[in-house]
Amino acid sequence: MKAYLYDNLPGDQRLPHDSGKAVDVDSLGKLGVLYYRIENIEGVNQLAAERGYKNRDEITVSPEKMGDVYEAKVKSFFDEHLHEDEEIRYIRDGHGYFDVRNKGDQWVRIQLDKDDLLILPAGIYHRFTTDETNYIQAMRLFKEEPKWTPLNRSEDLDANPYRKEYTSHFLA
């Protein structure tokens, strides 16, 4: 895992966009973002039991697996949004980026690789993209039945109770 401020320069979203300003794991934790390096499924099972994740599935994001919908799907993942549940991803193979907003509303890019596990709290604005290899395989973990309704950022969304709870706990 590598995290840094996003450079905001134009160009392909799948490129690193590394500003050269590193962000450490403690700073991510202050945003409610939790990072783990887990090298085997037993470790994932242990974390799932500790945190109450009862369900899981796997997704492969690649042109080969998704066909014609790949480009549109990756672009939709890159729209800034939040979820009303934690978002948990364990990277089984490949590479990708999660971008999250920091306290100053800047993007922090988190590069994830095989065996990285990331937990985003409910209510955090974020987005996702593959890297230039166009391939990632991830396990998604859920506390209850999966419901992945992305709520795209808008002024109205700031009144969302999950967003309000997130901002009062991590951004105040």
Q: Provide the annotated binding site.
A: 81, 83, 87, 126
Q: Enumerate the known binding-site residues for Ni(2+).
A: 81, 83, 87, 126
Burial status of residue 12 (CB atoms within 10 A of its CB: 0-12, 13-18, 19 or more): exposed
Please tell me the distance from the alpha carbon of residue 106 to that of residue 8, in angstroms, as a whole number: 9
Specify binding-site residues for Fe(2+). 81, 83, 87, 126
Extract the tokens encoding 129: 């993209």
Question: Helix (H, G, I), strand (E, B), or coil: what is residue 93?
Answer: strand
Rounded-to-integer distance, Cα 99 and Cα 131, Å: 12
